[in-house]
Amino acid sequence: METLERLAVALESRIPGTTGHSRRVAAYAGDLAQWLGLSREQSTRVAQAGRVHDIGKTCVPGALLNKPGPLTSREQELVRQHAVTGAAMVAGLGDRALAAFVRHHHERFDGRGYPDRLVGEEIPLGARIIAVADTFDALTSNRPYRRAIGQARALEVLGAEAGTQLDPEVVSSFGTRYSEVSYAVAL
């Protein structure tokens, strides 16, 4: 796991605006798992998956990860493979749940996500939690293709995506508890 975490940090150094992304996603996801009533062990596993959720991007060409404009459909497909590749990398740890969280963190609650088009609760809860944490952090971080938005606006976007892209219960818990946590500004 330590090796994968180091790779995740190295990956962030290749993509402007992502330094600290996996650390923040892990923190948000671990806390969110606890707020949803998961055990300490389960919450730790979700946080670990958050730490390496994008590890498969190490196999995506840097030019695609840093492209300032829209991706072609072929380029999108190459980037989307990171979920499958990352899950395969994590599977080597022998933790099927951890690998499933990584594989399914881009599934959508309405079934239009990837890689397997899972719907609602077919998506492992850990992956649904990571999806909310990942989306929030992506929205509040500058990226090559767009500027960051403020935290309050990001929470509004999460609310708008509840039930379509994101699990509404997970979004509700995050929105309710986020402002109470000290990392709201610190991360």
Convert the pLDDT of each residue in 65-78 to its tens digit.
888 888 999 999 99
Q: What residues are labeled active site? A: 57
pLDDT for the residue numbered 13: 77
Render pLDDT for 110-144 as a digit per residue (tens, 0 to 9): 999 999 999 999 999 999 999 999 999 999 988 77
Is the peptide bond prior to 16 cis by the omega test (within 30 degrees of 0)?
no
Query: Which CATH number is correct for 2-186, 1.10.3210.10, 3.40.50.150, 1.20.1440.20, 3.30.1490.100?
Result: 1.10.3210.10
pLDDT for the residue numbered 185: 41
Render pLDDT for 36-70 as a digit per residue (tens, 0 to 9): 999 999 999 999 999 999 999 999 998 898 888 88
Residue 186 binned pLDDT confidence (cut-offs 50, 70, 90) = very low
Structure tokens at 23: 């650390």
